[in-house]
Structure 1
Amino acid sequence: MTLRRGLIVAPSWIGDAVLAQPLFQRLQERHPGLVLDALAPRWVAPVLSRMDEIGEVLDNPFAHGELNLKARWALGRQLAARGYDAAWVLPNSLKSALVTAFAGIPLRVGFTGEARYGLLNCRHTLDKSATPLMVERFAQLAEAPGRQPPRPIAPPRLHSREADQVRTLAALGLERPSRLLVCCPGAEYGPAKRWPEAHYASLARAAAAQGWTVWLLGSHKDGPVGENIAQAADGCARNLCGATSLDQAIDLLALADHVVCNDSGLMHVAAALGRSLTALYGSSSPGFTPPLSERATVLQLGLECSPCFKRECPLGHFKCLQDLEPLRVLDTLPR
């Protein structure tokens, strides 16, 4: 089957969107000349726009859990006019597959998920043991059902061009430091994935003493966390959480000489930009969504109670991150 134009129904999480990029690369290898567009929530769209494989990013206006059949039907009819030959539906929900069916796209690919038998006509079955990594599961969708993706899978890649970086620095009134450490203290999933604010402040003070300039990056939800860290760091860290768009955050991460992150979307962005990186794991596991970069160092304590994959520590002590000391993280910074 000759495929000329395809649609990606993108995930709703920044990190998952980054991990899907090798799938897009594989699709274009298998189908030379394939033009790929992405239907994505607006908070994820900037990540898709930094992928060479993606042509146009279309707005997916639906909130998490929102059905709104009438609006989904209308969007499907708009997409029908674009003449897509195929669609790859990355989320596993029934709702995420509706629009592609309403659009009448001939080939609709995805995991069976929430019993999507009538919505997808090329269905894959998830084998967690055969594809333990999220990036492998996405990559499988480029293959025929029942066939594993070829390995090794190339790590995700995002671009940030020099002109973008210059524009971002000017817009934010910043100058590039000679030695930049970017810390990303947020984690959308919940507190059990966040290294303590006091530890980030201690790291910032120690790094500043070694000549690093420290910037804190995150969403507007991370603004109060960033402010607490900046105050506790006694002026050794600049809080930019909530002060940038995601596009701008990507450019600032690309400028960093080193990044320290919780297991979060920005961790995957930093890895895909090829930055030197320290990734901190507590309640989650690098066995499922590791930073896919040879320049990444993963730190975790490996306690008996972790990974628990909970939003809040079920035991109330947060030892998996509380006991991960700042000096150990400091030791991972380039000399």
Structure 2
Amino acid sequence: MSTPFTEAAGIPVGDPTPVTTFSPVVLPVPGRAVDLRIKVSAPATGGDLPVILLSHGHGPSNFVSSLHGYGPLADFWAAHGFVVIQPTHLDSMTLGLREADDPEAPVYWRSRAEDMRHILDHLDRIEAAVPGLGGRLDHSRIAAAGHSMGGHTVGLLCGQGVADPADGTPVDLSDARVGAGVLLAPPGGGEDLAAFASEHLSVLKTTDFASMTTPALVVVGENDHNPAFSDRKDWHADAYHLSPGPKSLLTLFGAEHGLGGVAMYDGAETTDENPERVAALRALVWAYLRTTLYPGDSAWAEATAALNAMPEPLGAVESK
């Protein structure tokens, strides 16, 4: 008999609750190529619910990089007390705009952060649009999480520096409403960007973390190394090492860029599929956000203690 997969890999998180999911909520955005479409996942009951804005990556799949992806994270976080809001950014394959005649194509780095800010500007409208959600959000406790290019988007909201590739003008897309960030396998610093990425994703050449002051958890895979982006094997951890505190770094042992399969259930393109790794990641993120958004909550200390006490830990945490 095989061993059943767990929800949280031994990290203490409490019992899950039923979840309701509603999509799409459609928000018109002046000047945007198409309306902003989002998916909302929320606990079926309860009030004063904290919010996670979840930004998808710039992956090759048709639907994963949209509001349809990242179910292993969104479902879990919603079942444990968060309202998860997932936008479809303009770089999603579902929209067919990656080759559009737009200076931000193919990654739409500025639009991605503006999508998240637009959602925050219209939280009341989103609450009203989702049946049963009105009046249940805590607008003072907001986090942003993102994978890969989504990690870059979250970094921008947290104060990460970047310059417009067109003219070198510094761009500030930080948002004080975001009280905590979670950067999953994010792009690293611009100084060590490889030639391929410099040519095709030139905005990454200007990435700088010196001004990323919002508290954040950076999650990296021990084996996440792609020479097309950087020769440095620790490049994805730059958001931790090169930013001011308070920050924490979770390194998942044996993980590659998919971090075990965070972007989808049973995705063949996940090179390191490992449900227990995903279970640990999402539980640790939950614990980090509980403590960061609710000072005095012991969830993060309990979670890291449980991780360290494992006979064969799935990862390691350091903080500054």
Shorter-chain TM-score range? under 0.3
Q: Using CA pairs under 8 Å that are at least 6 residues apart, name the structure with larger relative contact order, 1 or 2.
A: 2
Higher strand share: 2
Higher helix share: 1
Which has more radius of gyration?
1
TM-score, structure 2 length as denominator? 0.28
